[in-house]
Amino acid sequence: MKIISPVDRLDETDALLAAGANELYGGFVPNDWQEKFSLLVSINQRTFATAQLASWEDLAGVVTRCHDQGATFSLVLNAPFYSDLQSGLLIDYVGEAVRQGVDEIILADLGLLRCLKPIFPELGYHASTLAHLGNAAAVAFYASQGITRAILPRHLSTAEMAAIVAKVPYMRFDAFLLVGKCPNTEGLCTFHHSNSSKRWPCEIPYRLTPQQSVPDVLQRAMQRQGSWSQTDRRHGCGLCALPALKRAGIDGLKLVGRGAPTSQKVCNIILVRHFVSRALKMSDETLFRAEARAAHRQRFASLCSTNVCYYPEFFQEDESL
């Protein structure tokens, strides 16, 4: 399984690759976009400059260093949709990215895919989690439009992932593994992430007050929503699920963290690389999960929680104490 890491600066590229990343992904906002729309109108779901590469030259440098070390680079264009004016700008933008050697585009908007695919057939296109491909039929439809790879939504279980992979065997699939777990279904979320302090709406406590009686399943969902302010979504983890993800046929392990410090990215890559190796060697999955939980406590100085567990089917509260 490949380890996929975010990159935000040219000068951190070598460290990420040396730590064990097989692929890097990142974004870049060109000057003409900023002049017309500003950073707050997202070109790639990040609205702060530290989560973007600084220039075309830096983008080219990242791509070159990836290729020199046998890695690939994917450019992120994963806003849920773009206007006609924005799509027109993006054709020239992607053309320049191709000239800089970008390997693949991560996107969600079918309109953008249909626009880019005939012009840039040499690029790989993979569906962002913003595309919300939660079942095999959705994946197959995107594949018919030119997608060859999909990042599966965060809320799916490993069993659901395995079922999708089995039904669409000609696709490559990635799954999230470390940090950035979100309480919302990302492809359906309408919150705008533009707070200058980088405190997102899903982290701000709020209370839901139903106007009439609600079923138990909704009551439980409301209680869980209320608990998110007591946990840190940046401690998101899925290490326990690595053996199951491997059996499911997942090709890539995607680490979240655009805009995070280099040291944190490097620590996450090293941690994942270690447990990928352990998953290949260990047959006792109970012992593997115990090691993974201990590593989570050491890395984040906190206990496991279903809120931050990407694959809560493996969560066992009594073993997290």
**Domain of residue 251, CATH code:** 3.20.20.70
Q: Answer whether residue 205 is part of any domain.
A: no
With respect to residue 21, please indicate whether it lies within any of the assigned structural domains: yes
Residue 24, φ and ψ in degrees, nearest 5:
-115, 150
In a domain, 267, yes or no: yes
∠ CA 243-105-130, rounded to 5°: 65
Number of domains making up the chain? 1
> Does 202 map to a domain?
no
Tens digit of each residue's pLDDT (9 = 90 or more) over 232-286: 777 889 999 999 999 999 999 999 999 999 999 999 999 999 999 999 888 899 9
Residue 224 pLDDT class (50, 70, 90 cuts): confident
- Is 12 part of any domain? yes
Q: What distance lies between CA 258 and its chain's CA centroid?
A: 9
List C-alpha distances in Å: 92 to 33, 58, 88, 116, 228.
11, 18, 7, 10, 41
Phi, psi (rounded to 5 degrees) for 106: -100, 120
| Angle, vertex CA 177, rays to CA 23 and CA 246, nearest 5 | 85
Query: How confident is the model at residue 196, as a pLDDT?
Result: 67
Supply the DSSP string of 39-56, one letter for each residue: TTS-SSS--SGGGSB--H
Reported pTM:
0.89
What rounded mean pLDDT belongs to the chain?
89
3-state secondary structure of 149: strand
Whether 75 is covered by a domain: the verdict is: yes
Q: Is 196 helix (H, G, I), strand (E, B) or coil?
A: coil
The proportion of the chain whose per-residue pLDDT surpasses 70, expressed as a percent, equals 92
The whole domain housing 303 covers 2-197+214-320
* DSSP codes of every residue in 291-320: HHHHHHHHHHSS---TTTBS-GGG--GGGG
Question: pLDDT: is 229 or 298 the higher one?
Answer: 298
Give the position of tokens 């447990």. 275
Could you give the CA distance from residue 54 to residue 114 in angstroms, rounded to a whole number? 28
Q: Where are the alpha helices (DSSP H) in 55-157?
A: 56-68, 84-99, 110-119, 136-144
- Domain assignment of residue 204, yes or no: no
Helical packing angle, 285-300 and 262-281, nearest 10°: 170
**Are 192 and 173 contacting, i.e. CB atoms less than 8 angstroms apart?**
no
Within-domain flag for 203 = no
pLDDT of residue 10: 97
Q: Give 62-92 pLDDT, tens digit per residue.
A: 999 999 999 999 999 998 888 888 888 899 9
Average pLDDT over residues 143-147: 96
Poorest-confidence range of 31-45, 125-139, 191-205, 244-258? Answer: 191-205
Q: In the numeric block, which tokens belong to residue 121?
A: 């057939």
